[in-house]
Structure formats: structure tokens, C-alpha cells
Amino acid sequence: MKLPVLLHPVFDVTIPSTKHKIKIRPLLVKEEKILLMAKQSGTNADIYQAIHQIVTNCIVDADVKPDKFTLFDLEYVFLKLRAVSISNVVKVIYKDVEDKKDYPFDVDLDKLKVKFPEKTDHKIALGPDKGFVMQYPKAGLYGSEIFSKEGVTEEEVIEALVTACVESYFDGENVYKFSDNKKEDIKSFIENLDIETYNKIKEYVADLPHLHYQIKYTNSLGNERTIEMNTLSDFFTL
């Protein structure tokens, strides 16, 4: 007799950047294998590509494409998948920098949020009719070479984020979309910006939405401490 097709429960999750609800199914053995293979490679690019593939596999809605997600969308959905597939509780251990002792905590992924900046203006004005239209970087950026090669500098990462966060430059009625231009032309354009303008773009990049979970505790010396968890690696070792 032929083996039956296994059915799995379906869960709702809200995409942070769009507030749209999508349906997901739990992780299966085949997704676990994808993640294990990525871990063995040891590169961030492979890990993020694996997460992208896993999220793609587990989304039930055929018209929802993770390629359109922001990075924080992808991380959020992945952690929600972990919550419904294994447990909503993640055990973490942090070493207190003051008393040097280890403190275990239970992190409830059901309480995980994405923290958005207070200012959500995606336009950087450089005058009455000139400036940049910004966007949150797409998740695919973090599978690119810049985030996986050895010896990459912080400035190189910032430059990559700056480029990914600029949707277009406008000057009067003329609009120049970065997606319509070659990488080398974009690089040249960015390098010819004045320092003040470049710093305004960097300020936008520095204040991107991110995962947010806060732990408060009192250490052995009686001092109150706060832990801010805001990256995927803060929640567990992939």
C-alpha cells in the first residue's frame, strides 16, 4: 500500500513591514536538513540563503514571495516558524560583564516584536525639489558576497546597506531609480556625494527596524541589568 500524504497544521503570522497576514506550516525534517547543511558551511551567506529557502518552503500562500521581504521580515517569520515547530520558548545563557557569572533565561518567542524607528519618513530632502527616496533593504542582500567574504570591513558593509536602502534619487521631475542602473554606476554616484548628504543616508541605515526582545534581571551584586536582543543570533545558535 502506498504511503499517505501527511497533513500539517497551518498558522497565521503577520509580516511586520506590511502588516499583512500570511499562512505558514511547521518546519519538517527536510527543512532541518537544509539548515544543518548551511551550518556546516559556516558562512553567513549560506545560513541566510538556507533561512530564505526554509521560509519559502513553509509559506502556504502561493502568491507570497520572501524575495520581497525585508531582512527583519525574514528573521521574524523564521523565528515564528521555530516557535510553532519546536517550542515558543528558547533557552539562552548570558555572562554578566560585571560579576562574570552565567545567567540562564527563557525567551518567549510569542512576545517577540520588531522595533520600528520613531521617524518613519522614507524621504531625505536635499532641497525643495531634490533628494532621495529610501527603502528597507530586501532580505536577499544578506545572501550577497559582501556579507560572506572574509575580511570584510564595517565600512564595506555600511556602503552595501546604503546602496540597498536608496530606492531612487529625484531632481525636479526627474527620478533616477537605483534598480535601473549598474552597480559600478551606483557606486560612483554614491562616492561623489558630499559628506553631509552621505551622513544623512547613514543615519537612515543606522535606524532600521530590527528584532526586539528585552530581558531584565538583577545580578549577584544586586545591580539591575537589561539585555537587548535584536539580531537572529541573539536568540539561538543557528
Helix (H, G, I), strand (E, B) or coil at 138: strand
Instruction: Indicate if the alpha-carbon torsion angle 26, 30, 34, 35 is positive or negative.
Output: positive
164 CB-side CA count, 13 A: 21
Chain-centre distance for alpha carbon 111: 17
Cα distances (angstroms) measured from residue 12 to each of 19, 26, 40: 12, 11, 31
Q: What global pTM score does this model have?
A: 0.87
51 CB-side CA count, 13 A: 28
Selection from 38, 43, 68 nearest residue 56 by Cα: 68
Selection from 127, 191, 126, 137 nearest residue 167 by Cα: 137
Per-residue pLDDT of the chain (238 residues; tens, 9 = 90+): 999 888 899 999 999 999 999 999 999 999 999 988 888 876 777 788 889 899 999 999 989 988 889 989 999 999 999 999 989 999 999 999 999 999 999 999 999 999 999 877 899 999 889 999 999 988 877 667 766 666 677 788 888 888 889 999 999 999 999 999 998 999 999 999 999 999 999 999 989 999 999 999 999 999 999 999 998 888 765 4
